[in-house]
Amino acid sequence: MTTKSEMVLVTGATGFLGNYIVSSYCKRNIHVKAFVRPTSNLSWLEPLVDAQKVTLAYGSMTDANSLYQAMQDVTHVVHSASVIGPKISNETYQKINVEGTQILLELAIAHRVQRFILISSVSTYGIGITPGGIVTEDTMQKPSNPYGQSKLAQQKLVFDAYHNHGLAVVSIEPPVIYGPRARVGVGQAIKIIKNRIAPLLDYGRGRINLVYVTDVVGLLEATDASGNAIGERFLAPGPRFVSHREVLDLLADNLNVKPIYVPIPLPLTVAGMTINNAILKARKKDVFFPNTYMIKFTKGADYRADKAKRLLGWKPKVDVREGIPKTVKWFLDNGFV
């Protein structure tokens, strides 16, 4: 349980979720040490630094010395930093997401931090394990891409530290996170809808679980406040499993546009990805998505928050019908569309 006399190291502090995590601790009058790269955009953190609520620690997840310096005087760690994307090499995933986490854990153990919270991902479960079905923390974890594999490797390291060294750990597994300042995912969809011509994968019949950023932060706060969280993994889904068409229509309504939807049959996506992956292999580059990825992706997975509700009393509050209007408003107000 964090108190006002403690200091929390937040990695990935300049990222979308990281900014909200930092703000959460500052609002609770808990000092934050934000681990940032020298090239990071600090615009969201600067007011908190000026208010002496945040201290900056510069470095990278591949630089053990900078991580060592950042760990000084720290009592809690929230590890949010990771790389993601189809253009990132498998070697980079290993170096940053896995080996960087190992260094951070070793330092956390050596400095006897009181709690280590990993921001993981539902990518550890993979795509299409239970197509369209319910996923809980007991569902088999079988990642479908290098990012998911690296996040599962992170989790293994974290729980090894718990079992072998007594480090108090928690892992939080969100699906796609959205909200004000989310440039990827819903943010990208906003720009597509604004252009008035939008692809409609599988005629919009696919489903997805989206979680509003403050709900993820709310789960983190709940894990901070409870001893029941130690040694556990918690899914952090949104309130319900929604169709792609509902999401797109909500975006269009709040942007006040009437887009032309272009239906894309799923067999066409298989053909496109087969060609793309053949080109990647010919160029000796890593393949991120398997050929049938989009077929499985459209089925989605109905992630459930039953465990977090049972152990922590947490459940998601923000439905897409509330969260998407807030997100679109921020993009409009700040001139990003």
Least confident of 116-130, 228-242, 273-287: 273-287
User: Is the predicted pLDDT of residue 6 greater than 60, yes or no?
Assistant: yes
pLDDT band of 117, cuts 50, 70, 90: very high
Give the model's pLDDT for residue 4: 53
Give the model's pLDDT for residue 291: 66
3-state helix/strand/coil string of the chain: CCCCCCEEEEECCCCHHHHHHHHHHHHCCCEEEEEECCCCCCCCCHHHHHCCCEEEEECCCCCHHHHHHHCCCCCEEEECCCCCCCCCCHHHHHHHHHHHHHHHHHHHHHCCCCEEEEECCHHHHCCCCCCCCEECCCCCCCCCCHHHHHHHHHHHHHHHHHHHHCCCEEEEECCEEECCCCCCCHHHHHHHHHCCEEEEEHHHCCEEEEEEHHHHHHHHHHHHCCHHHCCEEEECCCCCEEEHHHHHHHHHHHHCCCCEEEEECHHHHHHHHHHHHHHHHHCCCCCCCCCCHHHHHHHCCEECCHHHHHHHCCCCCCCHHHHHHHHHHHHHHCCCC
Average pLDDT over residues 46-63: 96
Region 7-182+210-238+301-318: CATH code? 3.40.50.720
User: Is the predicted pLDDT of residue 210 greater than 60, yes or no?
Assistant: yes
Nearest C-alpha neighbor of 134 from the set 22, 278, 240: 240
The 10s digit of each residue's pLDDT in 24-35 is 999 999 999 999
pLDDT band of 293, cuts 50, 70, 90: low
User: Is the predicted pLDDT of residue 62 greater than 90, yes or no?
Assistant: yes
Residue owning tokens 């000796």: 284
